[in-house]
Structure 1
Amino acid sequence: MTTPDRLDVRYGRVPSPGRRWALVIVIGAIAVAAAAFAWLTISNALDDVGVDTTGYSIDGEHSVTLSFQISAAAGKNVACALEAQDEEHGVVGWKIVQYDASEVHARAFRETIPTVGLATTGFVNTCWVT
Protein backbone atom coordinates (compact mmCIF):
# COMPACT_ATOMS: atom_id res chain seq x y z
CA MET A 1 0.00 0.00 0.00
CA THR A 2 1.39 3.38 -0.97
CA THR A 3 1.59 6.36 1.27
CA PRO A 4 -1.30 8.20 -0.46
CA ASP A 5 -3.48 5.06 -0.10
CA ARG A 6 -2.65 4.82 3.60
CA LEU A 7 -3.48 8.50 4.08
CA ASP A 8 -6.80 8.08 2.23
CA VAL A 9 -7.77 5.15 4.45
CA ARG A 10 -6.53 6.90 7.60
CA TYR A 11 -8.52 10.10 6.95
CA GLY A 12 -11.66 8.47 5.54
CA ARG A 13 -11.35 9.56 1.94
CA VAL A 14 -12.10 6.03 0.73
CA PRO A 15 -15.55 4.75 1.66
CA SER A 16 -15.44 1.50 3.53
CA PRO A 17 -17.96 -1.31 2.75
CA GLY A 18 -19.51 -0.89 6.22
CA ARG A 19 -20.30 2.74 5.52
CA ARG A 20 -22.00 1.88 2.25
CA TRP A 21 -24.29 -0.63 3.98
CA ALA A 22 -25.12 1.88 6.70
CA LEU A 23 -25.99 4.45 4.05
CA VAL A 24 -28.18 1.95 2.17
CA ILE A 25 -30.00 1.04 5.40
CA VAL A 26 -30.59 4.70 6.34
CA ILE A 27 -31.90 5.56 2.86
CA GLY A 28 -34.13 2.47 2.93
CA ALA A 29 -35.54 3.41 6.34
CA ILE A 30 -36.27 6.95 5.15
CA ALA A 31 -38.04 5.58 2.05
CA VAL A 32 -40.18 3.22 4.16
CA ALA A 33 -41.08 6.05 6.58
CA ALA A 34 -42.05 8.35 3.71
CA ALA A 35 -44.22 5.65 2.14
CA ALA A 36 -45.95 4.94 5.47
CA PHE A 37 -46.62 8.66 6.03
CA ALA A 38 -48.05 9.01 2.50
CA TRP A 39 -50.33 5.99 2.99
CA LEU A 40 -51.65 7.25 6.33
CA THR A 41 -52.31 10.70 4.89
CA ILE A 42 -54.18 9.33 1.87
CA SER A 43 -56.20 6.78 3.85
CA ASN A 44 -57.29 9.41 6.38
CA ALA A 45 -58.29 11.80 3.60
CA LEU A 46 -60.49 9.14 1.98
CA ASP A 47 -62.64 8.93 5.13
CA ASP A 48 -62.77 12.68 5.74
CA VAL A 49 -66.23 14.21 6.17
CA GLY A 50 -66.79 17.92 5.60
CA VAL A 51 -69.68 19.62 7.35
CA ASP A 52 -71.20 23.11 7.19
CA THR A 53 -73.98 24.35 9.46
CA THR A 54 -76.27 26.38 7.21
CA GLY A 55 -78.77 27.54 9.81
CA TYR A 56 -80.73 26.88 12.96
CA SER A 57 -84.00 27.96 14.52
CA ILE A 58 -85.05 27.91 18.16
CA ASP A 59 -88.41 26.13 18.22
CA GLY A 60 -89.16 26.95 21.84
CA GLU A 61 -87.82 25.85 25.17
CA HIS A 62 -87.53 22.19 24.24
CA SER A 63 -86.10 21.94 20.71
CA VAL A 64 -83.81 23.43 18.07
CA THR A 65 -84.02 22.70 14.34
CA LEU A 66 -80.66 22.53 12.63
CA SER A 67 -79.89 22.72 8.89
CA PHE A 68 -76.53 21.49 7.62
CA GLN A 69 -74.65 19.98 4.70
CA ILE A 70 -72.21 17.10 4.72
CA SER A 71 -69.63 16.17 2.09
CA ALA A 72 -68.40 12.59 2.23
CA ALA A 73 -67.04 9.97 -0.12
CA ALA A 74 -69.75 8.24 -2.14
CA GLY A 75 -70.79 4.87 -0.80
CA LYS A 76 -69.88 5.58 2.85
CA ASN A 77 -72.25 5.63 5.84
CA VAL A 78 -71.92 8.83 7.89
CA ALA A 79 -72.82 9.71 11.49
CA CYS A 80 -72.97 13.20 12.98
CA ALA A 81 -73.14 14.59 16.51
CA LEU A 82 -75.51 17.57 16.74
CA GLU A 83 -75.40 19.95 19.67
CA ALA A 84 -77.55 22.71 21.15
CA GLN A 85 -76.10 25.20 23.65
CA ASP A 86 -77.53 27.85 25.96
CA GLU A 87 -76.29 31.43 26.29
CA GLU A 88 -73.49 30.36 28.67
CA HIS A 89 -72.27 27.71 26.17
CA GLY A 90 -73.64 24.89 28.29
CA VAL A 91 -74.90 21.87 26.37
CA VAL A 92 -78.69 21.65 26.64
CA GLY A 93 -79.26 19.18 23.79
CA TRP A 94 -77.31 16.47 22.01
CA LYS A 95 -78.23 14.04 19.26
CA ILE A 96 -76.36 11.47 17.18
CA VAL A 97 -77.79 10.91 13.68
CA GLN A 98 -76.75 8.30 11.13
CA TYR A 99 -77.14 8.49 7.37
CA ASP A 100 -76.96 5.60 4.93
CA ALA A 101 -74.46 5.58 2.11
CA SER A 102 -75.29 7.54 -0.98
CA GLU A 103 -73.78 7.98 -4.42
CA VAL A 104 -74.09 11.77 -3.98
CA HIS A 105 -70.98 13.53 -2.66
CA ALA A 106 -72.75 16.45 -0.88
CA ARG A 107 -76.12 16.23 0.86
CA ALA A 108 -78.24 18.62 2.92
CA PHE A 109 -80.18 17.65 6.04
CA ARG A 110 -82.55 19.18 8.59
CA GLU A 111 -82.77 17.68 12.08
CA THR A 112 -84.55 18.62 15.31
CA ILE A 113 -82.55 18.41 18.53
CA PRO A 114 -84.57 17.95 21.75
CA THR A 115 -83.34 20.20 24.57
CA VAL A 116 -83.69 20.30 28.35
CA GLY A 117 -83.74 24.10 28.46
CA LEU A 118 -83.85 27.16 26.25
CA ALA A 119 -81.07 26.97 23.65
CA THR A 120 -79.50 29.94 21.92
CA THR A 121 -77.61 28.08 19.20
CA GLY A 122 -77.38 24.77 17.42
CA PHE A 123 -74.53 23.33 15.37
CA VAL A 124 -72.90 20.14 14.12
CA ASN A 125 -70.19 19.16 16.57
CA THR A 126 -68.53 16.54 14.32
CA CYS A 127 -69.20 13.97 11.61
CA TRP A 128 -67.40 10.72 10.80
CA VAL A 129 -67.56 7.72 8.49
CA THR A 130 -69.11 4.65 10.12
Structure 2
Amino acid sequence: MTSPDTLSSRYGRTPGTARRTRTIGIIAAVAVAIVFGLWLWWGGLLEAPAQFEAKDTGHTIESDSRVSVRWQFTAEPGTPASCAIQALDSTFGIVGWRVVDLPPSDQNTRVFTESVLTTERAVTGLIYRCWLT
Protein backbone atom coordinates (compact mmCIF):
# COMPACT_ATOMS: atom_id res chain seq x y z
CA MET A 1 0.00 0.00 0.00
CA THR A 2 1.10 3.54 -0.68
CA SER A 3 0.96 6.19 2.00
CA PRO A 4 -0.79 9.54 1.41
CA ASP A 5 2.55 11.37 1.71
CA THR A 6 4.04 9.28 -1.07
CA LEU A 7 1.06 9.96 -3.36
CA SER A 8 1.18 13.71 -2.62
CA SER A 9 4.88 13.78 -3.32
CA ARG A 10 4.44 11.76 -6.52
CA TYR A 11 1.80 14.19 -7.89
CA GLY A 12 3.43 17.44 -6.73
CA ARG A 13 1.15 18.27 -3.81
CA THR A 14 3.81 19.03 -1.24
CA PRO A 15 3.73 21.99 1.18
CA GLY A 16 6.57 23.66 -0.78
CA THR A 17 4.63 23.37 -4.03
CA ALA A 18 1.51 24.86 -2.43
CA ARG A 19 3.53 27.83 -1.11
CA ARG A 20 5.16 28.36 -4.49
CA THR A 21 1.78 28.25 -6.28
CA ARG A 22 0.28 30.72 -3.81
CA THR A 23 3.29 33.07 -4.21
CA ILE A 24 3.06 32.94 -8.01
CA GLY A 25 -0.67 33.66 -7.81
CA ILE A 26 -0.13 36.70 -5.59
CA ILE A 27 2.64 38.04 -7.84
CA ALA A 28 0.44 37.55 -10.92
CA ALA A 29 -2.50 39.36 -9.25
CA VAL A 30 -0.28 42.30 -8.26
CA ALA A 31 1.14 42.48 -11.81
CA VAL A 32 -2.35 42.53 -13.31
CA ALA A 33 -3.40 45.28 -10.88
CA ILE A 34 -0.33 47.38 -11.79
CA VAL A 35 -0.89 46.93 -15.53
CA PHE A 36 -4.59 47.82 -15.14
CA GLY A 37 -3.72 50.95 -13.14
CA LEU A 38 -1.16 52.04 -15.74
CA TRP A 39 -3.70 51.42 -18.50
CA LEU A 40 -6.24 53.65 -16.71
CA TRP A 41 -3.63 56.36 -16.27
CA TRP A 42 -2.47 56.12 -19.89
CA GLY A 43 -6.07 56.15 -21.16
CA GLY A 44 -6.75 59.36 -19.28
CA LEU A 45 -9.37 58.00 -16.92
CA LEU A 46 -7.42 59.02 -13.83
CA GLU A 47 -6.21 62.39 -15.13
CA ALA A 48 -7.71 65.75 -14.35
CA PRO A 49 -10.84 66.64 -16.33
CA ALA A 50 -10.60 68.57 -19.59
CA GLN A 51 -9.26 72.09 -19.37
CA PHE A 52 -11.89 73.56 -21.69
CA GLU A 53 -15.37 72.99 -23.07
CA ALA A 54 -16.92 74.07 -26.38
CA LYS A 55 -20.68 73.84 -26.81
CA ASP A 56 -22.74 74.55 -29.93
CA THR A 57 -25.55 77.00 -29.24
CA GLY A 58 -27.00 77.44 -32.72
CA HIS A 59 -26.55 78.27 -36.37
CA THR A 60 -28.13 80.51 -39.00
CA ILE A 61 -28.20 79.76 -42.72
CA GLU A 62 -27.42 83.19 -44.14
CA SER A 63 -27.41 82.23 -47.84
CA ASP A 64 -26.58 79.39 -50.22
CA SER A 65 -22.89 80.11 -49.63
CA ARG A 66 -22.68 81.14 -45.98
CA VAL A 67 -23.68 79.79 -42.56
CA SER A 68 -23.21 81.50 -39.21
CA VAL A 69 -22.28 79.35 -36.20
CA ARG A 70 -22.75 80.35 -32.54
CA TRP A 71 -20.97 78.56 -29.72
CA GLN A 72 -19.91 78.94 -26.12
CA PHE A 73 -16.31 78.37 -25.08
CA THR A 74 -15.31 77.84 -21.44
CA ALA A 75 -11.66 77.73 -20.31
CA GLU A 76 -9.39 79.07 -17.62
CA PRO A 77 -8.80 82.83 -18.01
CA GLY A 78 -5.75 83.63 -20.12
CA THR A 79 -5.92 80.41 -22.13
CA PRO A 80 -5.55 80.79 -25.92
CA ALA A 81 -7.33 78.23 -28.09
CA SER A 82 -8.41 77.44 -31.64
CA CYS A 83 -11.62 75.88 -32.93
CA ALA A 84 -12.51 74.26 -36.22
CA ILE A 85 -16.00 75.10 -37.46
CA GLN A 86 -17.74 73.08 -40.14
CA ALA A 87 -20.84 73.43 -42.27
CA LEU A 88 -22.70 70.29 -43.36
CA ASP A 89 -25.18 69.60 -46.15
CA SER A 90 -28.24 67.35 -45.96
CA THR A 91 -26.13 64.19 -46.43
CA PHE A 92 -23.75 65.26 -43.63
CA GLY A 93 -21.02 66.08 -46.14
CA ILE A 94 -18.70 68.92 -45.22
CA VAL A 95 -19.42 71.92 -47.46
CA GLY A 96 -17.56 74.54 -45.42
CA TRP A 97 -14.67 74.62 -42.96
CA ARG A 98 -12.91 77.32 -40.99
CA VAL A 99 -10.36 77.42 -38.16
CA VAL A 100 -10.80 80.29 -35.72
CA ASP A 101 -8.17 81.43 -33.22
CA LEU A 102 -9.61 82.42 -29.84
CA PRO A 103 -7.40 84.94 -28.03
CA PRO A 104 -6.81 84.73 -24.28
CA SER A 105 -9.43 86.47 -22.16
CA ASP A 106 -10.02 87.31 -18.51
CA GLN A 107 -13.43 85.61 -18.66
CA ASN A 108 -14.11 81.91 -18.09
CA THR A 109 -17.01 81.62 -20.53
CA ARG A 110 -17.32 83.47 -23.82
CA VAL A 111 -19.83 83.34 -26.67
CA PHE A 112 -18.67 83.48 -30.30
CA THR A 113 -20.39 83.81 -33.66
CA GLU A 114 -18.44 83.13 -36.84
CA SER A 115 -19.44 82.87 -40.51
CA VAL A 116 -18.29 79.99 -42.68
CA LEU A 117 -18.25 80.17 -46.47
CA THR A 118 -19.76 77.08 -48.12
CA THR A 119 -19.49 75.43 -51.53
CA GLU A 120 -23.24 74.70 -51.59
CA ARG A 121 -26.23 75.29 -49.34
CA ALA A 122 -25.59 74.03 -45.79
CA VAL A 123 -28.28 72.70 -43.47
CA THR A 124 -26.25 73.08 -40.29
CA GLY A 125 -23.09 74.56 -38.85
CA LEU A 126 -21.27 73.35 -35.77
CA ILE A 127 -18.02 73.14 -33.87
CA TYR A 128 -15.93 70.20 -35.08
CA ARG A 129 -13.14 70.35 -32.50
CA CYS A 130 -11.28 72.81 -30.27
CA TRP A 131 -7.75 72.65 -28.88
CA LEU A 132 -5.54 74.74 -26.62
CA THR A 133 -2.76 76.67 -28.33
Taking structure 1 as the reference length, the TM-score comes to 0.70
SS at 1:53 equivalent: strand
For these two proteins, the number of residue pairs brought into alignment is 127
Find the aligned partners of 1:24 and 1:101 in 2 and give their Cα distance. 52
Q: Which moved more, 1:58-67 or 1:31-40?
A: 31-40
Taking structure 2 as the reference length, the TM-score comes to 0.69
**Alignment CA distance shift 1:76-1:32 (3 Å):** farther
1:19 to 18, 21, 24: 21
Gaps of 5+ in 2: none
1:86 to 89, 97, 116: 89
Matched with 1:34 is 36
Code of the aligned partner of 1:32:
I
Deviation at 1:66, TM superposition (A): 0.5
* Contact 1:80/1:96 (8 A) holds in 2: yes
Code of the aligned partner of 1:54:
T
Q: How far does the alpha carbon of each residue in 1:81-117 deviate from its partner, in whole angstroms, 9 at most, with x for none?
A: 2111223333210112233455655432211111122
Matched with 1:127 is 130
Gaps of 5+ in 1: none
SS at 1:59 equivalent: strand
Find the aligned partners of 1:126 and 1:80 in 2 and give their Cα distance. 6
1:60 aligns with 2:45: no
Find the aligned partners of 2:122 and 2:6 in 1 and give their Cα distance. 84
Q: Percentage identity across aligned positions?
A: 28
